[in-house]
Amino acid sequence: MKTKKVLCITIHIILGLLAIAIVPASVFLMQIPNYMTILLCAGFFLSFIFCLKIAVKKRGGRIVLAISSLFVIVVSVLGNYCNPYWNSIYFKGNVSYYSQTADTVLTMEEAKEDLEYAMYYLDKLHPAFYGNVPSEVQERYDMVRAKLNETDRITVCELCQDIEYIFSVLRDGHSYVKLNVEEPHYMKDIHHFREENCVLTAINGIDLEALLKQTQDAYSYEVESWQIRRLKDDLSTMEGLQYIGFSVDEGIVYTYESENGEREDYTYYAEDFLLYDEYMEYNRIEETQEDDEPFVYYEIDEEKSVAILTLNSCKYNDEYKACLKEMFTEMKEKQIGNVAVDLRANGGGNSLVADEFIRYLDVDTWNSGEYEWRFGWFRIPFKNTIVENDRYNDLTFDGEVYILTSANSFSSAMLFPQYVKDNNMGTLIGEAPGNTPNGYGDVAGFKLPNSQLFMQISTKEFFRVDRNNPSNLVEPDIPCESDDAMEVLYETIAGR
């Protein structure tokens, strides 16, 4: 009898540990099907019943057993169904972000499985789905599902088009499904045209404005400038062209306008689209390791009394913090009166880069805005956060602050200038960033099971710091073409 008691309690403990352990395992180690939570919790509950009958007879022991068992089940269930990072790939090591090739053929069953996988996590995580599925999303889902019922096979590229057609109706630049092949083929002269400052105006005789209208449901975006960026990226590769409906088999005609205003057509065929190494060799581009290139650096112009911090990615790490400290130390020594942060090529990352920068400013408190975070069955509001600025008092800067932005400034690179503008801490120069301050973000990433398409879904809804600002964009105080922002910066400093 004693052996049965020990065995019963041991099994109960093991099942309880497994029921809890699958939560971090799903986030950091492996993909775990949802039914494993149900199976383990069901087995754990049965072992709880057996423990009551066989192993635990005293009232006090039964109360402890019941409370601890309830705790385990609650943690396991909430850790799955209310965890935005359950099965996300972002915290797992050695995970490939690449999809199957564009022409890989899927069966109808495989395509439906991928579609349902995408819809499950969209419904579970996205703030817009809290309470019910948006009607426009449901309509598009029904259309795609009906299309799949009428076919036996579909390519990965076609499936990506169909699922992104559903996602795009949300107008959320952070939530999308993307064809991300391992070895894309690049149009061989793209580098040459960029070096010559030529502007792409048409593809196969279709001007970009018309093409933007044709592809408005092919991309998830909030601001048209972000759609333009994604469209131009796709126009530079064979796979991207295929995604938006062009075939290179009969040639692709690119129309470019030179700096002097002249337009000329160039025709390219399949053999003119090169793999990365071939593209680099063809254009005689020296191979460099991106990891060796600094994402943050600064320069100081003593004559103009300005320090310029270039931040190409919002990475909040020791390198960034050290660079800031070194810059503000040198600024103090040289009595520099202006500082500018160049975010024109910054696609986002960690918003704490803004917090760290503000610690050097002569600011006591500042507002970081409101947001609501979706945790599966719950949507939790976080009200206006007034940040007590933990200043670096020995390096506090009280001069002029400028932020340079472009349409390519996205996500945290939009939050940075928003904090500065809406808290009256400085001046914005350039173009409005590529997403809206009232929108979605803080994403979880996934791979669809059969196509391996990359999927990203927002988990938070953000609200602008200045709720009274009627603009849906973080508009610059001094608008100009992003390429001219540095020149305008110097003109502005000279005019003060």
- Successive 10-residue mean pLDDT values, the chain, 496 residues: 82 95 96 95 94 84 92 97 96 91 95 98 97 96 95 94 97 95 95 92 94 95 92 95 93 93 94 95 74 84 95 95 96 96 94 96 93 95 88 95 95 95 96 93 95 97 89 94 95 89
The gap between the terminal CA atoms of the chain, to the nearest Å, is 89
| Alpha-carbon distances of 393 from 325, 358, 363, rounded to whole Å | 12, 12, 11
pTM reported for the whole predicted model? 0.90
Cβ 125 vs Cβ 457: under 8 Å: yes
The pLDDT, as a whole number, for residue 287 is: 65
As a residue count, the chain comes to: 496
Instruction: Write down the pLDDT at residue 290.
Output: 45
Please list the residues that pair with 457 across neighbouring strands: 444
pLDDT (tens digit per residue) in 315-328: 999 999 999 999 99
Cβ(65)–Cβ(56) under 8 Å?
A: yes
Q: CA 318, 324, 328, 334 torsion: positive or negative?
A: positive
Looking at residue 289, its pLDDT comes to 45
CA angle, 147 then 104 then 111, to 5° = 35
Among positive and negative, which fits the CA dihedral 272, 277, 282, 284?
positive
Residue 250: predicted pLDDT: 87
- The span from the CA of 219 to the CA of 175, in Å, is 10
> Nearest-CA neighbor of 116 among 63, 47, 79, 166?
166
- 141 CB neighbour count, 10 Å cutoff: 22
The pLDDT of residue 61 is: 86
At 383 the pLDDT is: 84
Alpha helices for 366-461 (secondary structure H): 412-422
Cβ atoms 457, 175 nearer than 8 A: yes
CB 391 within 8 A of CB 355: no
CA atoms of 300 and 361, how far apart (whole Å): 18
CB–CB of 335/396 below 8 Å? Answer: no
Contact predicate 265/253, CB 8 Å:
yes
Among the listed residues 412, 379, 283, 398, the one whose alpha carbon sits nearest the alpha carbon of residue 332: 398
Amino acid in the structure at residue 462: F
Confidence at residue 285, expressed as pLDDT on a 0 to 100 scale: 86
* Rounded-to-integer distance, Cα 235 and Cα 237, Å: 6
